Amino acid sequence: MISAGTFHVISTELTIGMFALSGVAFLLCMLKKGPDSREAVAHWALLGGLIATPLAIISGINASPGDGIDNPLLANKMLLSMTSAGLAIGVLIRRKMGAAVDARHAGIGMASVGLMLTTAGMGGEFSRGETLLLFVPKETVMIFPLWASIVLIILGIAILSKSAIEHRS
């Protein structure tokens, strides 16, 4: 049987590898360089990373000492990974609706990748005490007030509705 810690390492490496590949492909899309397959690679790798993300989150909670998310660093990791997943879902839905891969689309994809890589850096800080994220506040949990969450949900629904109306025509 495999331990939660070992499974977390495997699922995390899969998630980060897929997101990193997606980020490079989105960068190539933004620069309009590289092979024609860059758009497909960006989106399929993003989907693969998105599928592996829940495995990494659940195994990370099971592998962490204590009763789950009782550390501010772990709460920030959860917040960042969920934000990254939300952006990734938005990029994939937008592409599925037939939107072109322009600079804005690739930028949102790269933002999703950046948030996931920041999450991975915070994991290194938690498990090994070392990270390249020198200027990221790690001991303060960045939680939105309820009103800000409601505004973001309404904004997301409005953007999806506008996109659906535009692509239906």
Which residue shows structure tokens 């949102």?
108
pLDDT of the residue at 31: 95
Angle at 28 between CA 51 and CA 10, to 5 degrees: 30
Digit-coded pLDDT (tens) for 28-81: 999 999 999 999 999 999 999 999 999 998 898 888 777 666 778 788 888 888
Residue 41's H or E segment, with its range, is helix 38-63
Q: How confident is the model at residue 151 (pLDDT cuts 50, 70, 90)?
A: confident
- The count of residues in the chain is 169
Digit-coded pLDDT (tens) for 85-141: 999 998 999 898 888 899 999 999 999 999 999 998 888 877 787 777 777 766 777
Chain-centroid distance of CA 82 in Å reads 7
User: What are the φ/ψ torsions at residue 128 (nearest 5 degrees)?
Assistant: -115, -10
Q: How confident is the model at residue 144 (pLDDT cuts 50, 70, 90)?
A: low
Q: What's the start-to-end Cα distance of the chain, in Å?
A: 53
pTM of the predicted protein model: 0.82
Contact call for residues 93 and 161 (beta carbons, < 8 A)? no
pLDDT of the residue at 156: 79
How far is residue 160's CA from residue 10's CA, in Å, rounded to a whole number? Answer: 34
pLDDT of the residue at 169: 66
Q: What proportions of the chain, in percent to the nearest 5, are helix, strand and coil? A: 75, 0, 25
